[in-house]
């Protein structure tokens, strides 16, 4: 039985099935380090996006105190924003810890134990994210 390869074209063959940028987020067949690679890219893009968003939001300060206060009241204490705060925290923790891992392994300081380091940072990151999320929720409840 014959079936067409999804999305295939001759350009793909000439270029040799090069995975391209979409290959970065193609999780098929990827292992632990591949997942760290994918997460690092996604969180990096997410944090970059947040940086611009942050600057846009801060620009409300220039409008005046009342504009800023209403932004805080109407938006940032909303549970959806609370969830986005947790997502942001997760992105920063993952990208930050992975950056430390990349520096330690990438400059040859920890090579043989790189997998153990990845697992240890994964556990540490999960703990930090859970603690941060609980803190956000309890702070919001107190307001």
Residues near another protein (CB under 8 A): 1-5, 8-10, 12-21, 23-24, 28-34, 36-37, 40, 101-102, 105-109, 111-112, 114-115
Buried b / exposed e over 46-74, threshold 16 CB at 10 Å, is beeebeeeeeeeeeeeeeeeeeeeeeeee
The nearer residue to another protein, 96 or 132, going by C-beta atoms, is 96
Q: How far is the CB of 135 from another protein (least distance, A)?
A: 31
Please count the other Cβ atoms lying within 10 Å of the Cβ belonging to residue 77: 11
Q: How far is the CB of 110 from another protein (least distance, A)?
A: 9
The nearer residue to another protein, 6 or 142, going by C-beta atoms, is 6
Q: How far is the CB of 6 from another protein (least distance, A)?
A: 10
Q: How far is the CB of 91 from another protein (least distance, A)?
A: 18
C-alpha 68/C-alpha 62 separation (Å) is 9
C-alpha 100/C-alpha 4 separation (Å) is 44
Structure tokens that stand for 122 in this block = 């994964």
The nearer residue to another protein, 4 or 143, going by C-beta atoms, is 4
The DSSP symbol for 72 reads I
């Amino acid at each position: 039985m014959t079936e067409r390869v999804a999305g295939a074209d001759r350009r793909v063959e000439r270029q040799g099935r090069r995975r391209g940028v979409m290959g970065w987020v193609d999780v098929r067949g990827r292992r632990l380090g591949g997942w760290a690679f994918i997460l690092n890219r996604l969180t990096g893009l997410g944090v970059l996006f947040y940086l611009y968003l942050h600057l846009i939001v801060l620009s409300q300060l220039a409008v005046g105190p009342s504009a800023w206060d209403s932004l805080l009241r109407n938006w940032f204490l909303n549970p959806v924003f609370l969830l986005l705060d947790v997502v942001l925290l997760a992105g920063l923790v993952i990208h930050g810890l992975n950056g430390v891992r990349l520096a330690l392994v990438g400059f040859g300081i920890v090579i043989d134990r790189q997998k153990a380091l990845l697992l240890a940072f994964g556990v540490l990151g999960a703990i930090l994210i859970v603690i941060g999320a609980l803190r956000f929720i309890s702070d919001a409840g107190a307001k």
